[in-house]
Amino acid sequence: MAMKVLVTGGAGYIGSHTVLQLLLGGFEAVVIDNLDNSSEVAVKRVVELAGEFGGNLSFHKIDLRDKEALERVFASTKFDAVIHFAGLKAVGESVMKPLLYYDNNLVGTINLLEVMGSNGCKNLVFSSSATVYGWPKEVPCTEESPLRALNPYGRTKLFIEEICHDISVSDSSWNIILLRYFNPVGAHPSGFIGEDPRGIPNNLMPYIQQIAVGRRPSLTVFGNDYSTKDGTGVRDYIHVVDLADGHIAALKKLFDGSKIGCDVYNLGTGKGTSVLEMVEAFEKASGKKIPLVFAGRRPGDAGIVYASTEKADKELNWKAKYGIDEMCRDQWNWASSNPWGYESPDSPK
Ligand code: NAD
Ligand code: UFG
């Protein structure tokens, strides 16, 4: 019998890529998403890409804060594990609307954990973030590095990590893996699914991709006075398909019978790339010029962030395979064939 996995936020960017890898890996996936920052078209495309496995996916439009709806999903299916992606993720918006973030991310997660517990499903993989390292004093960031959230979004990740530790202490039958993602970019090599943020993108690669397809004029480079090779910020970009595979590795660990309690892993490549290096790689992949405007540092930005990936390599047997050239190639492949993402240019965003 195929393992059944509930995927919250499975219509979103990382979720849709992970659901595809789950289906191709022989899992059954049930996706719940309120489509706040995503489109059901992504779910339909995942079904198509999965071919003969597409029938193993079902979708429910549900908000995690609707506990009764969650109960109904758990009453209809016995899940072996949950992968929990659903959440709001825009740092700037979280500063403006902290209660929205605490309500959506924390209340949604507490509901999920309660319903999981009462239905005897105690295997969880949770999307945490490198944001919990704040401005790291030392790189690479190891899982033992000091934690410091700098904004309400980051605090929701830190609080959920703590909640997960607490429930694993209170009840030893929980097995929880917290995955701290570094900077997910790129798209499925088919160009059929990818990132489709609503409104003006906050993050570097979605912004660059919209310039390349003519939707925006230029990239504002936030700061060129960091102590880095060219003065611009350095990050650990990771191909979204590698990241998706990291979730399959985490599930395998949950199912291998070892006692986990609550454990945490970085998912990154271990390599730092500057903004200008990323722009150059994207220009090479797309053949498009990205006009730059240099500006001051973005408030709250760290200079250099990249991961130590040893723990995931050793204990999950997982390592990122792709480099920035493949990330940019696939980002461009997705953007050029879907310049308006999943919608048409006229649909409201
Ligand atoms: P995304 O916005 O594309 O996906 C999140 C999905 O969750 C969306 O489809 C959204 O509609 C859904 N959602 C939000 N609140 C919900 C609710 N209350 N009930 C049901 N569905 C809800 O974002 P993503 O980039 O795929 O990120 C997935 C997870 O990974 C998030 O938790 C995010 O914080 C975390 N993360 C993302 C990044 C990144 O840079 N993309 C980095 C680190 C961590
Ligand atoms: N940058 C620009 N111009 C832009 C956007 C970004 O110069 O228009 C620069 C930033 O200053 C930074 C780099 O590009 O040096 C990457 O910025 P992103 O916004 O793409 O990514 P961040 O590392 O700042 O943050 C993202 C998420 C966080 C998450 C973190 C790690 O927004 O929530 O990745 O996963 F915690």
Tell me the per-residue pLDDT of 143-188, one tens digit each, with 9 for 90 and over: 999 999 999 999 999 999 999 999 999 999 999 999 999 999 999 9
Q: How far, in Å, is the centroid of ligand 1 from the Cα of 75?
A: 25
Q: What pLDDT does 343 receive?
A: 83
The CB of 268 under 6 Å from ligand 1? The reply is no
Q: How far, in Å, is the centroid of ligand 2 from the Cα of 133?
A: 14
Each residue's pLDDT tens digit, 55-93: 999 999 999 999 999 999 999 999 999 999 999 999 999
Ligand nearest to the CA of 141: 2
Q: What pLDDT does 109 receive?
A: 98
- Residue 153 falls in the annotated catalytic set: yes
Q: For residue 289, what are the contacts with CB-CB under 8 A and spacing of at least 6?
A: 283
Average pLDDT on 228-245 reads: 98
For a mutational test of ligand 2's pocket, the pick from 13, 153, 297, 301, i.e. the residue with the most ligand atoms closer than 8 A to its C-beta, is 301
Q: How far, in Å, is the centroid of ligand 1 from the Cα of 40?
A: 14
pTM: 0.98
Ligand nearest to the CA of 298: 2
| HSE, side-chain direction, 13 A CA sphere, residue 212 | 27
Which band of pLDDT confidence, cut at 50, 70 and 90, is reported for residue 228?
Answer: very high
Determine the residue type at 259: K
Residue list, ligand 2 pocket, CB within 6 Å: 89, 91, 129-131, 181-183, 202-204, 207, 219-222, 233, 235, 275, 298, 301
Ligand nearest to the CA of 67: 1
Q: What pLDDT does 267 receive?
A: 99
Q: What pLDDT does 1 receive?
A: 85
Q: Is the pLDDT of residue 347 over 80?
A: no
Residue nearest to atom 34 of ligand 1 (CA): 89
Q: What are the structural domains, with CATH classification, of the chain?
A: 4-185+238-268 (3.40.50.720)
Determine the residue type at 267: L
Catalytic residue among 13, 101, 133, 153: 153
Altogether, the residues listed in the chain come to a count of 349
Q: For residue 273, what are the contacts with CB-CB under 8 A and spacing of at least 6?
A: 234, 235, 236, 237, 281, 324
Which band of pLDDT confidence, cut at 50, 70 and 90, is reported for residue 346?
Answer: low
Instruction: Of 176, 180, 57, 62, give the one whose Cα is nearest residue 116.
Output: 176
Which band of pLDDT confidence, cut at 50, 70 and 90, is reported for residue 130?
Answer: very high
SS3 of the chain? CCCEEEEECCCCHHHHHHHHHHHHCCCEEEEEECCCCCCHHHHHHHHHHCHHHHHHEEEEECCCCCHHHHHHHHHHCCCCEEEECCCCCCHHHHHHCHHHHHHHHHHHHHHHHHHHHHCCCCEEEEEEEHHHHCCCCCCCECCCCCCCCCCHHHHHHHHHHHHHHHHHHHCCCCEEEEEEECEEECCCCCCCCCCCCCCCCCCHHHHHHHHHCCCCCCEEEECCCCCCCCCCCEECEEEHHHHHHHHHHHHHHHHCCCCCCEEEEEECCCCCEEHHHHHHHHHHHHCCCCCEEEECCCCCCCCECCECCHHHHHHHCCCCCCCHHHHHHHHHHHHHHCCCCCCCCCCCC
Q: Is the pLDDT of residue 2 over 70?
A: yes
Q: How far, in Å, is the centroid of ligand 1 from the Cα of 12?
A: 6
123-129/175-181 β-pairing: parallel
Q: For residue 162, what are the contacts with CB-CB under 8 A and spacing of at least 6?
A: none
In angstroms, the first-to-last Cα distance of the chain is 41
Residue nearest to atom 3 of ligand 1 (CA): 12
Residue nearest to atom 41 of ligand 1 (CA): 184
Given the structure tokens 């595809």, which residue do they identify? 20
Q: Is the pLDDT of residue 23 over 90?
A: yes
